[in-house]
Amino acid sequence: MFQYIADFLTYSLLGLVEGEQFAQSVHFFVYDVFKILFLIFFVVSFIAFLRTFFAPGKIKRAMAKMRFGSGNLLAACFGAVTPFCSCSSIPLFIGFLKARVPAGVAFSFLVTSPLVNEVAFVIMGGLFGWKLAVLYAISGILLGVFAGLLLGAFNLEKNLILEEKGKMISQDTSFKGFKSRIRYAFQDGRQIFKKIYLYIIAGVAVGAAIHGYVPDEFFVNYVGKYELLSVPLAVILGVPIYAGCSTVAPVIFSITQNGVPLGTSMAFMMSIAGLSLPEAVMLKRVLSLKLLAIFFGIVAAGIVAIGYLFNIIS
Protein backbone atom coordinates (compact mmCIF):
# COMPACT_ATOMS: atom_id res chain seq x y z
CA MET A 1 0.00 0.00 0.00
CA PHE A 2 2.73 2.49 0.97
CA GLN A 3 4.77 1.56 -2.10
CA TYR A 4 1.74 2.26 -4.31
CA ILE A 5 1.13 5.62 -2.62
CA ALA A 6 4.79 6.62 -2.99
CA ASP A 7 4.88 5.52 -6.65
CA PHE A 8 1.66 7.38 -7.47
CA LEU A 9 2.59 10.65 -5.75
CA THR A 10 6.20 10.67 -6.98
CA TYR A 11 5.94 9.44 -10.54
CA SER A 12 2.30 9.94 -11.57
CA LEU A 13 1.11 13.01 -9.69
CA LEU A 14 4.40 14.95 -9.54
CA GLY A 15 5.73 13.50 -12.81
CA LEU A 16 9.25 12.94 -11.52
CA VAL A 17 11.61 10.68 -13.44
CA GLU A 18 12.42 7.39 -11.73
CA GLY A 19 16.15 7.04 -10.97
CA GLU A 20 16.92 10.75 -10.61
CA GLN A 21 18.32 11.92 -7.29
CA PHE A 22 15.43 14.25 -6.46
CA ALA A 23 12.88 11.60 -7.39
CA GLN A 24 14.63 9.06 -5.17
CA SER A 25 14.56 11.49 -2.24
CA VAL A 26 10.88 12.32 -2.74
CA HIS A 27 9.89 8.67 -3.12
CA PHE A 28 11.86 7.72 0.00
CA PHE A 29 10.26 10.59 1.95
CA VAL A 30 6.67 9.80 0.91
CA TYR A 31 7.03 6.06 1.49
CA ASP A 32 8.60 6.33 4.95
CA VAL A 33 6.41 9.19 6.19
CA PHE A 34 3.18 7.32 5.35
CA LYS A 35 4.53 4.02 6.68
CA ILE A 36 5.86 5.33 9.98
CA LEU A 37 2.93 7.67 10.68
CA PHE A 38 0.55 4.76 10.08
CA LEU A 39 2.58 2.57 12.43
CA ILE A 40 2.68 5.29 15.06
CA PHE A 41 -1.09 5.66 15.11
CA PHE A 42 -2.04 2.01 14.57
CA VAL A 43 0.50 0.34 16.86
CA VAL A 44 0.15 2.81 19.73
CA SER A 45 -3.66 2.65 19.47
CA PHE A 46 -3.60 -1.15 19.38
CA ILE A 47 -1.35 -1.40 22.42
CA ALA A 48 -3.55 1.17 24.18
CA PHE A 49 -6.54 -1.08 23.42
CA LEU A 50 -4.72 -4.07 24.92
CA ARG A 51 -3.84 -1.97 27.96
CA THR A 52 -7.53 -1.53 28.71
CA PHE A 53 -7.57 -5.23 29.67
CA PHE A 54 -4.36 -5.08 31.73
CA ALA A 55 -3.77 -2.33 34.24
CA PRO A 56 -0.32 -0.76 33.63
CA GLY A 57 0.51 -1.13 37.32
CA LYS A 58 -0.05 -4.88 37.14
CA ILE A 59 2.14 -5.16 34.03
CA LYS A 60 4.95 -3.30 35.78
CA ARG A 61 4.67 -5.50 38.87
CA ALA A 62 4.64 -8.66 36.73
CA MET A 63 7.77 -7.53 34.89
CA ALA A 64 9.45 -6.70 38.19
CA LYS A 65 8.94 -10.29 39.39
CA MET A 66 10.85 -11.73 36.42
CA ARG A 67 14.37 -12.92 37.12
CA PHE A 68 17.24 -10.53 36.52
CA GLY A 69 17.68 -9.98 32.78
CA SER A 70 14.90 -12.36 31.70
CA GLY A 71 12.60 -9.49 30.72
CA ASN A 72 15.41 -7.90 28.74
CA LEU A 73 16.17 -11.19 27.00
CA LEU A 74 12.51 -11.67 26.12
CA ALA A 75 12.26 -8.13 24.74
CA ALA A 76 15.51 -8.51 22.78
CA CYS A 77 14.37 -11.80 21.23
CA PHE A 78 11.03 -10.22 20.33
CA GLY A 79 12.93 -7.37 18.69
CA ALA A 80 15.03 -9.86 16.73
CA VAL A 81 11.96 -11.43 15.08
CA THR A 82 10.15 -8.17 14.27
CA PRO A 83 10.84 -6.91 10.73
CA PHE A 84 11.24 -3.26 11.70
CA CYS A 85 13.84 -0.64 10.89
CA SER A 86 15.02 1.73 13.62
CA CYS A 87 12.29 4.31 12.99
CA SER A 88 9.51 1.74 12.63
CA SER A 89 10.46 0.25 16.03
CA ILE A 90 9.71 3.50 17.83
CA PRO A 91 5.88 3.08 17.92
CA LEU A 92 6.22 -0.25 19.76
CA PHE A 93 8.85 1.26 22.06
CA ILE A 94 6.40 4.04 22.96
CA GLY A 95 3.65 1.48 23.51
CA PHE A 96 5.84 -0.50 25.91
CA LEU A 97 6.66 2.63 27.91
CA LYS A 98 3.01 3.65 28.13
CA ALA A 99 2.14 0.15 29.34
CA ARG A 100 4.58 0.72 32.24
CA VAL A 101 7.05 -1.86 30.95
CA PRO A 102 10.38 -0.98 32.66
CA ALA A 103 12.41 1.41 30.54
CA GLY A 104 15.43 -0.92 30.44
CA VAL A 105 13.30 -3.74 29.03
CA ALA A 106 11.77 -1.42 26.41
CA PHE A 107 15.26 -0.28 25.41
CA SER A 108 16.33 -3.92 24.89
CA PHE A 109 13.61 -4.17 22.24
CA LEU A 110 14.53 -0.82 20.67
CA VAL A 111 18.20 -1.81 20.35
CA THR A 112 17.70 -5.30 18.93
CA SER A 113 14.76 -4.74 16.60
CA PRO A 114 16.67 -2.87 13.85
CA LEU A 115 20.01 -4.63 14.42
CA VAL A 116 18.84 -8.24 14.00
CA ASN A 117 16.68 -8.95 10.98
CA GLU A 118 15.59 -12.33 9.66
CA VAL A 119 16.22 -11.30 6.04
CA ALA A 120 19.70 -10.05 6.90
CA PHE A 121 20.29 -13.31 8.81
CA VAL A 122 19.50 -15.39 5.71
CA ILE A 123 21.57 -13.14 3.45
CA MET A 124 24.55 -13.32 5.80
CA GLY A 125 24.21 -17.09 6.06
CA GLY A 126 24.36 -17.41 2.29
CA LEU A 127 27.22 -14.96 1.84
CA PHE A 128 29.44 -15.55 4.87
CA GLY A 129 28.34 -18.91 6.28
CA TRP A 130 25.78 -19.88 8.90
CA LYS A 131 28.19 -19.83 11.84
CA LEU A 132 28.86 -16.15 11.32
CA ALA A 133 25.15 -15.52 10.71
CA VAL A 134 24.24 -17.16 14.03
CA LEU A 135 26.98 -15.18 15.78
CA TYR A 136 25.62 -12.00 14.21
CA ALA A 137 22.13 -12.74 15.60
CA ILE A 138 23.41 -13.72 19.05
CA SER A 139 25.68 -10.68 19.31
CA GLY A 140 22.83 -8.34 18.36
CA ILE A 141 20.50 -9.91 20.94
CA LEU A 142 23.16 -9.79 23.66
CA LEU A 143 23.83 -6.14 22.86
CA GLY A 144 20.13 -5.44 23.35
CA VAL A 145 20.09 -7.31 26.67
CA PHE A 146 23.19 -5.63 28.11
CA ALA A 147 22.24 -2.17 26.82
CA GLY A 148 18.79 -2.52 28.38
CA LEU A 149 20.23 -3.73 31.68
CA LEU A 150 22.70 -0.85 31.77
CA LEU A 151 20.10 1.77 30.90
CA GLY A 152 17.71 0.24 33.44
CA ALA A 153 20.39 0.41 36.15
CA PHE A 154 20.68 4.17 35.62
CA ASN A 155 17.02 4.60 36.68
CA LEU A 156 16.41 7.14 33.95
CA GLU A 157 12.60 6.98 33.84
CA LYS A 158 12.48 10.66 34.84
CA ASN A 159 14.17 11.46 31.52
CA LEU A 160 11.26 10.04 29.53
CA ILE A 161 9.21 12.86 28.02
CA LEU A 162 6.16 10.60 28.08
CA GLU A 163 5.77 11.72 31.68
CA GLU A 164 3.25 14.42 32.47
CA LYS A 165 3.01 16.12 35.87
CA GLY A 166 4.93 13.28 37.48
CA LYS A 167 2.64 10.53 36.13
CA MET A 168 2.63 8.53 32.92
CA ILE A 169 0.04 9.71 30.41
CA SER A 170 -1.77 6.37 30.55
CA GLN A 171 -3.95 5.99 33.62
CA ASP A 172 -5.69 2.99 35.14
CA THR A 173 -9.25 3.51 33.97
CA SER A 174 -12.47 1.52 34.28
CA PHE A 175 -14.13 0.82 30.94
CA LYS A 176 -17.76 0.10 30.21
CA GLY A 177 -18.02 -2.10 27.14
CA PHE A 178 -16.07 -2.59 23.93
CA LYS A 179 -16.85 0.85 22.47
CA SER A 180 -15.31 2.67 25.42
CA ARG A 181 -12.10 0.67 25.00
CA ILE A 182 -11.95 1.48 21.28
CA ARG A 183 -12.61 5.14 22.01
CA TYR A 184 -9.83 5.25 24.60
CA ALA A 185 -7.40 3.50 22.23
CA PHE A 186 -8.00 5.98 19.40
CA GLN A 187 -7.76 8.95 21.75
CA ASP A 188 -4.47 7.67 23.11
CA GLY A 189 -3.10 6.99 19.62
CA ARG A 190 -4.16 10.45 18.45
CA GLN A 191 -2.55 12.08 21.47
CA ILE A 192 0.83 10.48 20.82
CA PHE A 193 0.50 11.09 17.06
CA LYS A 194 -0.03 14.84 17.61
CA LYS A 195 3.01 15.03 19.88
CA ILE A 196 5.55 13.46 17.53
CA TYR A 197 4.34 13.63 13.91
CA LEU A 198 6.39 16.75 13.11
CA TYR A 199 9.50 15.01 14.45
CA ILE A 200 8.70 11.99 12.28
CA ILE A 201 8.47 14.19 9.17
CA ALA A 202 11.69 16.03 10.05
CA GLY A 203 13.56 12.78 10.72
CA VAL A 204 12.45 11.16 7.48
CA ALA A 205 13.33 14.35 5.57
CA VAL A 206 16.92 14.06 6.84
CA GLY A 207 17.05 10.42 5.75
CA ALA A 208 15.52 11.24 2.37
CA ALA A 209 18.08 13.95 1.63
CA ILE A 210 20.95 11.61 2.50
CA HIS A 211 19.35 8.72 0.59
CA GLY A 212 19.00 10.73 -2.61
CA TYR A 213 22.11 12.90 -2.65
CA VAL A 214 24.86 11.16 -0.66
CA PRO A 215 26.17 8.10 -2.52
CA ASP A 216 27.03 4.99 -0.51
CA GLU A 217 30.46 4.99 -2.12
CA PHE A 218 31.36 8.17 -0.25
CA PHE A 219 31.18 6.29 3.05
CA VAL A 220 32.51 3.00 1.73
CA ASN A 221 35.67 4.64 0.40
CA TYR A 222 36.61 5.78 3.90
CA VAL A 223 35.85 2.55 5.76
CA GLY A 224 38.76 0.22 6.48
CA LYS A 225 41.60 2.60 5.68
CA TYR A 226 42.67 3.39 9.22
CA GLU A 227 43.40 -0.12 10.58
CA LEU A 228 42.82 -0.03 14.37
CA LEU A 229 40.47 2.97 14.18
CA SER A 230 38.51 1.57 11.25
CA VAL A 231 35.73 0.07 13.39
CA PRO A 232 34.76 3.22 15.36
CA LEU A 233 35.16 5.25 12.17
CA ALA A 234 32.79 2.86 10.36
CA VAL A 235 30.22 3.37 13.14
CA ILE A 236 30.48 7.16 12.85
CA LEU A 237 30.22 7.10 9.06
CA GLY A 238 27.23 4.76 9.16
CA VAL A 239 25.06 6.99 11.38
CA PRO A 240 24.01 9.50 8.65
CA ILE A 241 22.74 6.70 6.39
CA TYR A 242 19.20 5.44 7.00
CA ALA A 243 18.45 1.85 5.90
CA GLY A 244 17.58 -1.55 7.33
CA CYS A 245 19.99 -4.44 7.80
CA SER A 246 18.29 -6.44 5.06
CA THR A 247 19.00 -3.60 2.59
CA VAL A 248 22.61 -3.10 3.63
CA ALA A 249 23.68 -6.75 4.03
CA PRO A 250 24.36 -7.33 0.29
CA VAL A 251 26.41 -4.11 0.22
CA ILE A 252 28.51 -5.45 3.09
CA PHE A 253 29.54 -8.41 0.90
CA SER A 254 30.88 -6.10 -1.81
CA ILE A 255 32.74 -4.04 0.79
CA THR A 256 34.48 -7.11 2.22
CA GLN A 257 35.31 -8.27 -1.31
CA ASN A 258 37.27 -5.03 -1.70
CA GLY A 259 39.43 -5.83 1.33
CA VAL A 260 37.56 -4.22 4.22
CA PRO A 261 37.58 -6.59 7.27
CA LEU A 262 34.26 -8.29 8.00
CA GLY A 263 33.99 -6.84 11.52
CA THR A 264 34.48 -3.31 10.20
CA SER A 265 31.81 -3.93 7.56
CA MET A 266 29.49 -5.39 10.21
CA ALA A 267 29.94 -2.32 12.42
CA PHE A 268 29.14 -0.14 9.41
CA MET A 269 25.95 -2.12 8.72
CA MET A 270 24.77 -2.14 12.33
CA SER A 271 25.34 1.57 12.81
CA ILE A 272 23.33 2.27 9.66
CA ALA A 273 20.48 0.10 10.97
CA GLY A 274 20.52 1.01 14.66
CA LEU A 275 21.95 4.53 15.00
CA SER A 276 20.39 6.58 12.23
CA LEU A 277 19.94 10.36 12.35
CA PRO A 278 16.20 10.11 11.59
CA GLU A 279 15.83 7.78 14.58
CA ALA A 280 17.59 10.34 16.80
CA VAL A 281 15.28 13.12 15.61
CA MET A 282 12.18 11.01 16.35
CA LEU A 283 13.41 9.78 19.74
CA LYS A 284 14.15 13.36 20.81
CA ARG A 285 10.38 13.81 21.27
CA VAL A 286 10.26 10.81 23.60
CA LEU A 287 13.62 10.97 25.42
CA SER A 288 15.50 13.81 27.02
CA LEU A 289 18.72 14.87 25.29
CA LYS A 290 20.71 13.32 28.14
CA LEU A 291 18.99 9.94 27.82
CA LEU A 292 19.22 10.03 24.03
CA ALA A 293 22.98 10.66 24.24
CA ILE A 294 23.45 7.83 26.76
CA PHE A 295 21.40 5.47 24.59
CA PHE A 296 23.38 6.25 21.44
CA GLY A 297 26.68 6.06 23.32
CA ILE A 298 25.96 2.63 24.79
CA VAL A 299 24.72 1.18 21.50
CA ALA A 300 27.67 2.66 19.58
CA ALA A 301 30.14 1.19 22.07
CA GLY A 302 28.44 -2.21 21.77
CA ILE A 303 28.57 -2.11 17.97
CA VAL A 304 32.28 -1.21 18.09
CA ALA A 305 32.91 -4.19 20.37
CA ILE A 306 31.00 -6.50 17.99
CA GLY A 307 33.03 -5.14 15.08
CA TYR A 308 36.34 -5.89 16.77
CA LEU A 309 35.08 -9.37 17.74
CA PHE A 310 34.22 -10.20 14.13
CA ASN A 311 37.58 -8.87 12.94
CA ILE A 312 39.35 -11.21 15.37
CA ILE A 313 37.41 -14.38 14.52
CA SER A 314 36.97 -13.89 10.76
**3-state secondary structure (DSSP) of residue 176:** coil
**Given this model, what pLDDT does residue 162 score?**
60
**Given this model, what pLDDT does residue 167 score?**
40
**Given this model, what pLDDT does residue 304 score?**
92
Extract the residue ranges of the chain whose pLDDT is less than 50: 164-172
**Given this model, what pLDDT does residue 36 score?**
72
List the one residue out of 279, 238, 200, 210 whose CA is nearest residue 38. 200
Q: How far is CA 66 from CA 61, 70, 148, 218, in A?
A: 9, 6, 15, 46
**Tens digit of pLDDT for each residue in 35-48?**
877 877 887 787 77
Dihedral angle of Cα 62, 69, 299, 306, to the nearest 10 degrees: -150
What is d(CA 280, CA 293) in angstroms, rounded to the nearest whole number? 9
**Tens digit of pLDDT for each residue in 57-78?**
555 566 556 667 788 888 888 8
SS3 content of the chain, % helix, strand, coil (to 5): 75, 0, 25
**Tens digit of pLDDT for each residue in 107-148?**
998 888 888 876 677 767 776 788 888 888 899 999 999 999
Claim: this prediction has a pTM higher than 0.75: no
Identify residue 35 by its one-letter amino acid code.
K
**Given this model, what pLDDT does residue 138 score?**
92
**Given this model, what pLDDT does residue 301 score?**
93
